[in-house]
Chain A
Amino acid sequence: MTPERLARGHELVARYPRPQSALVPFLQYCQEQDGYVTLQAMRDAAELVGITPGEVESIASFYTLLFKAPAGKHIVQVCRTLSCMLRGAEDLQAYIKRRLGIGHLETSADGQYYYEEVECLAACDRAPCLQHNLEYHYDVTPASFDKLLDSWQASAPAPAMPAE
């Protein structure tokens, strides 16, 4: 474990009555640094909080926001639960997939975009809902998605719209 990571780990452990409580925050920290939760990060976490690597894997794989493989820089998660589906999520999903050129649980070849369909985001009153790098966007339509994509372009080039 790098000294910085260890220091951060100790700091997190100190925040809670039980060391295990620091597990998820520590994994989140590692993910911020590495782009995803690496095998080494899981082993480090096990050592840090005093459980087995297997137990870390069990917990890490439970949380869909902890990635076990490199995911895109832009994480796009679209709700696929009832309210959103009734309000057009199905078409939106099809549109986004075509627009980004990737499918469910896939990352674009340039490593910029990751797409996933997720369960209820608890924003049913503003369906369909989309989450981009943990930020919510409401009442999304294909048109408003294009605008969002433009706004993300500052940091990443938007993929070209494939021909019909």
Chain B
Amino acid sequence: MSETKMVKLLIDGQEVTVPDGTLVVEAAKQLGTQIPVYCYHPKMDPVGLCRICLVEIEKAPKLQIACSTRVTEGMVVRTMSPKVAEARRGVLEFLLLNHPLDCPICDKGGECDLQDFTMEYGPGASRLTEPKLHKPKRVDLGPTIVLDEERCILCRRCTRFDNEIAQERNLVVVERGHNSLIGTIDGGDYESYFSGNTTEICPVGALTSKAYRFRARPWDLSHADSVCTQCSVGCNYRVDARFGNIMRTFTRENSDVDGGWICDRGRYTFNYLYEPARLREPLVRRDGDLERASFAEAVALTAEKLGAAAAAGRAGVIGGGRLSDEEAFALQLFARKVLGTNNIDHRARLQRYASPARFGARLRDLDDADLILMFGAITPEQAPILDLRIRRAVARNAAHLVFVGPFKPDLAVPFHYVEYATGAIGDLMEALADALKRGAQPQGAFAIDLARNLNEASKIVAVHNGRNPVAASALEQLIETLLAVGKRGGILVVGSQGNARGAEAVGCVPNLGPGYAPLANAGMTTAEMLTAAANGKLDALFIAGANPALTFPDGALARKALESVPFLAVAEQVMTETAAYANVVFAAASQFEKRGHVTNLEGRRQAFAQAVEAPIYVATDAAIVSALASALNKPDVLDDDPDWLFSRLQAVEQAAKPAEPLARPKLDPSVTAHGDNLDAQRKTFTVVPVPKLYAGGGPSLHDPGLAPMRPQARASFHEDDALLLGIAQDRVVTLTGPNGSITVAANVGTSAAVGTVLVTADMPEAPVNRLLDASGRGRVTVTPAPLRKEALA
């Protein structure tokens, strides 16, 4: 790479040296000089349409806009001259011409750039004597936003965000001139997983968040620097609370992780804390019903049953992916050092690995990758902010995107789709690695194509979901081969839960201790524990922040296990399908009510601060397990203090010296490498669970902020199959497998492959795990529900 040329310039008499091509506004920032801007946003291309940033540049005949003018050697810039002040006054007078000035009832008041710059640079009064132009003031823009068109200064940050950053282009400017409005096609909903960001970047109070509207004034808010745990990306955000109640979340840029954005799931998932579904005190089952109980009673009962089961070697622990690193560490200490068992596993879904064994990539690596291979991971649904990086790489850097999987996902940018049953990916990758190593031609048109892409690319990032061990190691081989020929590349594994990677790293797996240290005696995996429980071979289970009844692939097994196990204790924030089976339910603190660290999908450990206090009878998971440890006479093993736990964790990890390749978590015997053969007769269909961002039980189910976005459970068929089955769009169908059935409405299209049915995953009203086995596979027959008479008429 060539050296970037540096140029020297003077801004308000101060010298500054910046890379050639820097914008004047950015150069001024280096000196701590804030040039006012509206349309300019550092993450988007400058457009120069608001003119508030005018500055004086020597030798230029007129004032220049600092947001679009690039520095040159010897440039002399004045940002505070009388000419500039006059220009700003003029621009502000125009911006305020039709502005309603309803600051006293505006959410933005107190953090509004129009208010602030007017106070600083604006004219004191308007000279307009005509009536102001009126526009719609309460436009329902969609599930998350209300728009006040009168407040809008038409800076177009919001529409450019939707275009440049989200690559969706649904939010646009309609009409023209002073009649311009922000809108969508035919006044439809602005629906985007990223919509909330526009409310933040809107420099005025035009775009207001429905969840936050009229709820607080910025100066009344307390701030806590936190990290989102709604998925494994780990976006940094700030949690703003008023009088101890969370009002909103706000981006807190970490350019290596989130690039300054958060998704709507992350942004809006917190109001469940204030819903009736929130568990506020422990529950104990008495005469068949779960009833309120004291923490002491819950602890005593659990310690007794869990202790007895452990003494007989018949206890197990599931969970860790919702916990902080400290707490997941405490949970495995509790299993190993208090209960004396290695039966601990955080994996309650299809995911087997939360990390690559070798060649871990960073999120940043996506930015300049020229080939991105997605294997089964549906990043817009499972890691939205990671998907923004992919979108940008494809749209801006012409990166090539290939998706390999059992169905064609809905992606925002063009991609090459390769239909491949999940099980068969491993074979494909091995063949490719082979082809690259030996220069042999791989078999099949796609493989040849991909081999060519691999040959042409210089940096490759593979993103997978950690479900298929054969594919995972084949991908590692593939990257190894690529590195050997001088290319760059790495692997990202999208986590199944927010802190899956942290739970794995601190030892919430049956065969590894903290720091991936292999253990002599492996315990049972989740599937093994559930099988043992279902067969009467486990006496007690402790589940912390996991919901196997809904998410474990073999739902029938999970439910049978939870039903049969003589004693079940669950630590949860809200009532879940799993907690409903429990003998004891602990009310667990949310991430907002504690502090600690979480580890994101790239292995980055990030600290988060406590934002609010937990309700009085709610305890952190660390407090729950340490109380249990004390009740079991092992008070020294554990402490609920995050600092104590963190320093212990660090010490243990240092001693373990995790090195690549990382030891692999134990697999279930049921995991096989090969995919399904499709039923040529199409009497049965292969079930493919499809993740959706707003699906899920637990908090997301109960959050009113997410309620308007909640998807409907759907079964999607290929149009050829639909024809064969006589199914039209929206027809209600029953899918029946060997262990159960669900009834859902059908989608007909081309995203499902022939012979498969795509079913929305993690929907409590129609749990796909009724149809699957422990390795996530399922075959169903399809019966259309009888049509009602009216529908026939």
Contact = CB atoms under 8 A, between A and B. Distances in A.
Instruction: Report if A and B associate in a common complex.
Output: yes
Interface stretch (B29-37, B135-143, B168-176): B168-176
A144 interface: no
A62 B184 CA distance: 14
B186 interface: yes
A56 B173 CA distance: 11
Contact of A54 (B169, B175, B176): B169
A53 interface: yes
A36 to B, nearest CB: 13
B175 A39 contact: no
B176 A57 contact: no
A89 interface: no
B170 A61 contact: no
B183 interface: yes
Nearest to A39: B186
A60 to B, nearest CB: 9
Contacts of B170: 52, 54
B175 A62 contact: yes
Contacts of B724: none
Contacts of A62: 174-176
A58 interface: yes
A82 interface: no
B186 A61 contact: no
B234 to A, nearest CB: 31
Interface in A45-75: 51-58, 61-62
B169 A42 contact: no
Going nearest first, the 5 A-B pairs with the smallest beta carbon separation are A58-B172, A53-B185, A61-B174, A52-B169, A54-B170
Nearest to B184: A54
A54 B168 CA distance: 10
Given A62-B175, A62-B176, A57 B169 contact: no
A12 to B, nearest CB: 21
A81 to B, nearest CB: 13
Interface in B150-193: 168-176, 183-186
Interface in B170-229: 170-176, 183-186
A40 B240 CA distance: 44
Nearest to A57: B185
Contacts of B183: 57
A71 to B, nearest CB: 16
Contacts of B168: 52
A44 to B, nearest CB: 12
Contacts of B172: 54-55, 57-58
Interface of A: 39, 42-43, 51-58, 61-62
A90 B186 CA distance: 34
A52 to B, nearest CB: 4
B64 to A, nearest CB: 28
A58 B184 CA distance: 8
B669 to A, nearest CB: 49
B185 A56 contact: yes
Interface of B: 168-176, 183-186
Contacts of A43: 185
10 contacts: A39-B185, A42-B186, A52-B169, A52-B185, A53-B185, A54-B185, A55-B172, A57-B172, A57-B186, A58-B174
Nearest to A53: B185
Contacts of B186: 39, 42, 53, 57
Given A54-B169, A61-B174, 8 more contacts: A39-B186, A52-B168, A52-B169, A52-B185, A55-B169, A55-B172, A56-B185, A57-B183
A56 B170 CA distance: 10
A56 B168 CA distance: 13
Contacts of B184: 54, 57
Contacts of B174: 57-58, 61-62
Nearest to B173: A58
B130 to A, nearest CB: 16
A61 B185 CA distance: 10
B591 to A, nearest CB: 36
Nearest to B176: A62
A56 B184 CA distance: 10
A82 to B, nearest CB: 17
A151 B173 CA distance: 40
Contact of B169 (A39, A51, A61): A51
Nearest to B183: A57
A54 B159 CA distance: 11
A58 B182 CA distance: 9
B171 A61 contact: no
Contacts of A61: 174-176
A48 B418 CA distance: 25
Contacts of A39: 185-186
Nearest to A63: B176
A51 B185 CA distance: 12
Contacts of A52: 168-170, 185
B152 to A, nearest CB: 15
Contacts of A58: 172-174
B789 to A, nearest CB: 32
Contacts of B175: 61-62
A56 B176 CA distance: 14
Nearest to A51: B169
A7 to B, nearest CB: 24
B274 to A, nearest CB: 35
A149 B176 CA distance: 31
Nearest to A62: B176
A51 B170 CA distance: 10
Contacts of B185: 39, 42-43, 52-54, 56-57
A43 B170 CA distance: 13
B499 to A, nearest CB: 36
A90 B227 CA distance: 63
Nearest to A42: B185
Nearest to B175: A61
A58 B154 CA distance: 14
A63 to B, nearest CB: 8
Contacts of A57: 172, 174, 183-186
A111 B203 CA distance: 44
B189 to A, nearest CB: 11
Contacts of B173: 58
Contacts of A42: 185-186
A53 B186 CA distance: 9
B168 to A, nearest CB: 7
A39 B187 CA distance: 11
Contacts of B176: 61-62
A42 B183 CA distance: 15
A43 B186 CA distance: 10
Contacts of A53: 185-186
A68 to B, nearest CB: 9
A39 B184 CA distance: 12
B341 to A, nearest CB: 55
A58 B175 CA distance: 7
A61 B186 CA distance: 11
A23 to B, nearest CB: 14
Nearest to B181: A61
Contacts of A55: 169, 172
A88 B296 CA distance: 90
B394 to A, nearest CB: 15
B141 to A, nearest CB: 12
Contacts of A56: 185
B12 to A, nearest CB: 39
A154 B146 CA distance: 50
Nearest to B179: A61
A55 B162 CA distance: 11
A51 B172 CA distance: 12
A31 B175 CA distance: 18
A56 B185 CA distance: 8
Contacts of B171: 54
A51 B171 CA distance: 13
For A42, A52, A55, which residue has the most chain B Cβ atoms within 10 angstroms?
A: A52
A61 B182 CA distance: 12
A55 B170 CA distance: 7
B571 to A, nearest CB: 45
